[in-house]
Structure 1
Amino acid sequence: MANKIRRPASPSAAERFSTRTRLLAGLLAFVMLGSLVTVTVMGFTDSTNDDNGTVPGTSQVSTATTKVVPTDCPALDKSDGPRLSFSSRPAWCLEDGATYTAVFDTTEGEIRVVLDSKRTPETVNNFVVLANYGYYDDTLLFRLDPTIAIIQGGSPHTNDWSDRGPGYTIADEGGLFKHVGGSLIGPFTYEPGQLIMARSVGPNSSGAQFFFSSGPEVARLDGQGSYIVFGETDADGLAVLENMMGLYEVDPSSPYGGGPKHEITVRSVTITSTKG
């Protein structure tokens, strides 16, 4: 008798269900894995390194459930610094309704400056961002000029007037600027105790350098009025500035005609804010 060919038994209903379940589970796992890879890759934000190798605003994720919130504003504790070079003007980092104070810790004493974010918001924002990146820390107040009562600083690269700045300039603000007889005339007047932006001769040319006014001679700049006033210190701060100016001595070898008897260092600039 010929041998009968035995066919495999047909799978039972339970077996068919089990096989189908495994196939669907495998397909679902593949889709979920693909989604996880996509979210993780998209979770990286990139930023250009500056000269110091720091990458502010860069976030990395290790799981698909981490939400990435990139930011262009530096941490208030200066952990994103020091940073001295930038490719563009800073993002807007001021909080609505807040009053900002810059605390200068110098080798000659503390100077507290209330910043004028109402009249000069862009200038204040620029200064606050730079300060929170540590831009002004461990820099010199390199120029004293008693003829116009100014004390100048804000040059971390060279500690003199030739500093290249942060890599950008900011817009003039605070009133009307106009050209008169080839000169730029602005709306500001000057008195002792102010914090003022330095600039070159052209419009919109301020970047990071600043100067304090220490005496009434600064009013000689009123005819120009183009140096943006963005803060003012109190009586204690003005006393520190007056003592600094007392360190001035004539020095024919100096490009400024003179300077302080010894270096005046800004150890740090710390920004504080209050609401209301």
Structure 2
Amino acid sequence: MLRALLLSLLLFSVSTMAAKPADDGSQIQPDNYYPRVKMETSMGDIVLELDRRRAPITVNNFLRYVDKRSYEGTIFQRIIPGYIVQGGGYTVDYEEKSSFPAIFNESGNGLKNTLYSVAMARQNDPHTATRQFFFNLDDNDNLDPGKTWGYTVFGAVVEGYEVVDAMGEVATEYKATLGFADAPVEPIIINKVSVLPAQF
């Protein structure tokens, strides 16, 4: 009797776990290796094509933030002309947004930090990327892996190149209160990010 009860409880637990849908980004267009995302900013729209085949962990992580509408109202807080445009982690008041746990670094996936590619920002530790990302404004091979870990590229701009170029040319300043260098004088805001219908 006890054995049968334990077995039924185990089966119930397994079925409950199986029925619970994933919430880590993998459930978003799960059969699409190259989902597209539209980013509506205060400077114009950008469309990204993500590469889930080469960077599945990173793409799913990015889509998770998109799905939660967590990028909306954030800014591009770091702009270095001819190098990168970085954002996704701070509000217009420079308050840091909460993050999901850090993800594994997939920089060895063969994708390079070339012009208009999109990659994950991180701290010195290679496995510290959470929500911030950046657009490459040049072929930045110093960000690719070599003897050390690189910065994970997980997609590329496919529309709105002129918007990214314009972002890279805005006036910047040092934010003394936060110790931020290269911050835009006028905030560049991400108003909305949405996953576009799949193209098969």
TM-score (norm 1): 0.57
Paired with 1:242 and 1:248, the residues of 2 have a C-alpha distance of 13
Paired with 1:153 and 1:114, the residues of 2 have a C-alpha distance of 18
Cα distance change of structure 1 residues 252 and 210 upon mapping to structure 2, 3 Å threshold: closer
Higher relative CO (Cα under 8 Å, sequence separation at least 6) belongs to 2
Does 2:174 align with 1:240? no
Does the CA-based 8 Å contact 2:108-2:150 persist in structure 1?
A: no
Give CA-to-partner distance per residue, 1:93-149, whole Å, 9 cap, x none. Answer: 241245301111000000100001110011111111210110101111111122x61
Tell me which structure has the larger Cα radius of gyration: 1
Paired with 1:220 and 1:98, the residues of 2 have a C-alpha distance of 27
More strand by share: 2
Equivalent residue number for residue 203 of structure 1: 126
Q: Relative to structure 2, which stretch is displaced further, 245-254 or 189-198?
A: 245-254
Equivalent residue number for residue 144 of structure 1: 79
Equivalent residue number for residue 266 of structure 1: 190
Quote the sequence identity (%).
Answer: 25
Equivalent residue number for residue 150 of structure 2: 226
Does the CA-based 8 Å contact 1:188-1:227 persist in structure 2?
A: no
Paired with 1:252 and 1:169, the residues of 2 have a C-alpha distance of 26
Aligned residue pair count:
180
Structure 1: which 4+ aligned runs deviate by more than 4 Å?
156-160
TM-score (norm 2): 0.76
Tell me how far 1:250 sits from its aligned partner.
4.2
Output the aligned Cα RMSD. 2.9
Q: Relative to structure 2, which stretch is displaced further, 239-248 or 222-231?
A: 222-231
Does the CA-based 8 Å contact 1:98-1:273 persist in structure 2?
A: no
Cα distance change of structure 1 residues 203 and 220 upon mapping to structure 2, 3 Å threshold: closer
Q: Secondary structure at the match of 1:269?
A: strand
Cα distance change of structure 1 residues 145 and 271 upon mapping to structure 2, 3 Å threshold: same
Q: Secondary structure at the match of 1:274?
A: coil
Equivalent residue number for residue 166 of structure 1: 99
Letter in 2 for 1:227: Y
Specify every segment of 5 or more residues in structure 2 that has no aligned partner in the other structure, as ranges. Answer: 1-11, 13-18
Cα distance change of structure 1 residues 248 and 268 upon mapping to structure 2, 3 Å threshold: same
Paired with 1:98 and 1:221, the residues of 2 have a C-alpha distance of 24
Paired with 1:153 and 1:272, the residues of 2 have a C-alpha distance of 21
Does 2:30 align with 1:110? no
Specify every segment of 5 or more residues in structure 1 that has no aligned partner in the other structure, as ranges. Answer: 1-41, 43-68, 74-89, 177-186
Cα distance change of structure 1 residues 260 and 170 upon mapping to structure 2, 3 Å threshold: same
Does the CA-based 8 Å contact 1:188-1:225 persist in structure 2?
A: no
Equivalent residue number for residue 26 of structure 1: none
